[in-house]
């Protein structure tokens, strides 16, 4: 499950267009469910089964949209994989919250953001122009990925803004412009560059979801989605979003195989057919 923080500009765009008003609609009948608060879409979305949940980490509670039924309900927040960094150590935990590995290091006393592979074998920590890769079993730093030249400046001034293990590959996002990023795929243990994501200079949002063990869906900064084989970097398909919407967050893959996208509303994408369609407004009472 993807856990990158939503970029501030995305939150601003979603709040500005009044997404909640689009989804809540007008109540029709006595069984209409209550609407979530107006700021619910400021929360990072998660998918479980066919439910799209927007959760408040401070209260561990969620407003959940049942996509097939088109209804809202409340539910507790599920546990997720986490990486926490202190001035003296890094702790990576699996989604069960119980299986954890620790790495003693003072290298990030001034900050950094970490992500771990699903099996907790590898850890990537990014800050500024570098991404450090560690073996969590041996606690050894294996290699470092360095930033590359962008329209904002030389490689030494690069700023990484995201990283994620996609199967056995690592994807890293670097700031490309003040409001966008570009990404590259790497074999993480040796920092061998596999490919630029889509092609050099393609602007992509820091979101991704697995469709199978090789193909992942990535969000373009333009109103497009990209299906990419992360083992080779090959672009398999490009999907244009209905309505031409930007500011996308890929929430996750539903149980029926479609992918939920949050933008100026909720859009469902069929990655096989290459089509997309908006979700009808659920009935609820304000």
Domain coordinates of the chain in residue numbers?
A: 12-76, 125-130+137-240
Please name the residue that has the structure tokens 């890094």: 90
Residue 20: its pLDDT value, please? 45
Mean pLDDT of 253-279: 89
Choice between 10 and 109, residue whose per-residue pLDDT is larger? 109
> Residues 131-164: pLDDT tens digits?
999 999 999 999 999 999 999 899 999 999 999 9
pLDDT at 229 over 90: yes
pTM recorded for the entire structure = 0.83
Cβ atoms of residues 152 and 174 within 8 Å = no
Q: What is the mean pLDDT of residues 210-238?
A: 94
Residue bearing tokens 């003072």:
106
Cβ of 2: how many Cβ atoms within 10 Å?
20
Predicted confidence at residue 9, as pLDDT, reads 40
Rg (alpha carbons) of the chain, rounded to whole number: 19
Split at pLDDT 50, 70, 90, the class of 264 is low
Q: What is the mean pLDDT of the chain?
A: 85
Q: What is the DSSP string of the chain?
A: ---PPPPHHHHHHHHHTTHHHHHH----STTPEEPPPTTGGGSPEEEETTEEEEEETTTTEEEEEETTTTEEEEEEPPP--EEEE-SSEEEEE-TTSS-EEEEE--TTTT--EEEE-TTSSEEEEEETTEEEEEETTTTEEEEEEE---BTTB-GGG--EEEEEEETTEEEEEEEEETTEEEEEEEETTTTEEEEESSSTT--EEEEEEESSSSEEEEEESSSEEEEEETTTTEEEEEEEPTT---S-EEEEE-TTS-EEEEESEEEEEETTTTEEEEPPPPPEE-
Distance CA 256, CA 254 (A): 5
Burial of 98: CB neighbours in 10 Å, binned 0-12, 13-18, 19+ = exposed
**Cα 56–Cα 60–Cα 65 angle in degrees, nearest 5:** 60
Q: Specify whether the CB–CB gap between 228 and 235 falls below 8 A.
A: yes
Whether 65 shows a pLDDT value over 70: the answer reads yes
Indicate the fold that domain 125-130+137-240 takes in CATH.
Answer: Thrombin, subunit H (2.40.10)
Per-residue pLDDT tens over the stretch 128-140 = 999 999 999 999 9
Q: Which long-range contacts (CB under 8 A, 24 or more apart) does 99-102 make?
A: 101/136, 101/137
């Amino acid at each position: 499950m993807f856990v990158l923080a939503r970029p501030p500009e995305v939150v601003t765009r979603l709040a500005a267009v009044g997404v909640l008003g689009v989804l809540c609609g007008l109540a029709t009948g006595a069984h209409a469910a209550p609407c979530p608060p107006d700021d619910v879409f400021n929360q990072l979305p998660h998918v479980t089964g066919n439910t799209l949940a927007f959760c408040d980490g401070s209260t561990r509670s969620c407003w959940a949209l049942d996509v097939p039924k088109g209804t809202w309900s409340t539910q507790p927040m599920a546990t997720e994989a986490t990486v926490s960094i202190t001035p003296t150590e890094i702790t990576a935990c699996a989604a069960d919250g119980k299986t954890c590995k620790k790495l003693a290091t003072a290298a990030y006393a001034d900050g950094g953001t970490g992500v771990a592979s699903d099996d907790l074998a590898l850890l990537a920590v990014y800050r500024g122009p570098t991404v450090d890769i560690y073996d969590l079993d041996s606690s050894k730093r294996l290699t470092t990925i360095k930033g590359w030249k962008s329209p904002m400046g030389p490689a030494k001034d690069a700023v990484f803004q995201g990283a994620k293990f996609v199967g056995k590959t690592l994807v890293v996002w670097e700031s490309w412009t003040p409001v966008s990023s570009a990404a590259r795929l790497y074999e993480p243990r040796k920092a061998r560059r596999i490919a630029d994501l889509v092609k050099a200079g393609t602007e992509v949002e820091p979101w991704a979801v697995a469709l199978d063990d090789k193909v992942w869906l990535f969000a373009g900064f333009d109103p497009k989605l990209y299906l990419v084989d992360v083992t080779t970097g090959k672009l398999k398909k490009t999907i244009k979003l209905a309505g031409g919407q930007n500011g996308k967050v890929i929430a996750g893959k539903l149980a029926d195989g479609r992918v939920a996208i949050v933008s100026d509303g909720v859009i469902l994408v069929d990655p096989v057919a290459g089509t997309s369609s908006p979700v009808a407004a659920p009935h609820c009472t304000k």
